[in-house]
Amino acid sequence: MSAGSGKGGGKSGGKSEGARALKVRVKTAAKRSLASARWLERQLNDPYVARARREGYRSRAAFKLLEIDEKYKLLKSGQRVVDLGAAPGGWSQVAAQKVGVGAGKGRVVGIDLLEIEPLPGVDFIQLDFLAPEAPERLIALLGGPADIVLSDMAANATGHKKTDHLKIMGLAETALDFARQVLSPGGVFLAKVLQGGTENALLADLKRDFAVVRHVKPAASRSDSAELYVLATGYRGAAATPITPDDGA
């Protein structure tokens, strides 16, 4: 459900400056469509894909969250974090590092329809986050309401701009509905949307429920992509699901 998941350099013979990146080109084959060949070529030439491999992140998407957090300082030691549409786990990796899961200081729970490879200190649930039992299960694992709800979910693209926009906005709206059930007062909501304008209804809901709402586009988000993120901070409500504190939190 979540967005997931190099570059070489060299100088041409007579040029002392202006080093140019060596690009990998992928030929189309009988069993490979033009679209899949373009996707593979872009992956092979993406510096963030190469960097993710070098630094041990599960996807290039990890750098989007790292860059947003670097600017807005969202993730803090000891926080409880929910990662919606967590597969393959790149955002959960970043959140776990930032909140101190390795030192027993925070909690991170990821949820996805897909099975996710285990990550030390992170609880992954293979479940639809819209399932009636999802909020209560997540809060139980967190040991209390969430401080941050993250959503890097994206529906499969159809190629039709308006349809894709409506689909991803629908995901953002359902993610917000979920966040209202699990966020603690003062909490943070970060979700993927598409350029072309956040729907008025969603924007109005965010402004009503949060103190500050802004759009952000990290450098790791491809420049040719309409993707950006809506960041809402200072949640004014309170988790609606009954909480049973966990002494081990």
- pLDDT digits 0-9 by tens, 50-88: 777 887 788 889 999 999 999 999 999 999 999 999 999
Q: Could you say which DSSP state residue 101 is in? A: G
Question: Which of 83, 111, 108, 102 is CA-nearest to residue 190?
Answer: 83
Mean pLDDT, the chain cut into blocks of 10 residues (249 residues total): 38 40 50 54 62 81 95 97 96 97 95 95 94 93 96 74 73 93 96 75 91 92 79 84 40
Question: Which of 196, 190, 202, 189 is CA-nearest to residue 164?
Answer: 196
Quote the CA–CA distance of 38 and 65 in Å, as a whole number: 25
Tokens 């491809």 locate to 222
Spatial neighbors of 102 by CB under 8 A, at least 6 apart, are 96, 120, 121
Domains and their CATH numbers in the chain = 60-235 (3.40.50.150)
Options 98, 192, 207, 217, the catalytic residue: 192
- Active-site annotation holds for 192: yes
pLDDT over 90, % of the chain: 53
DSSP string, 143-186: TS-EEEEEE-B-PPP-S-HHHHHHHHHHHHHHHHHHHHHHEEEE
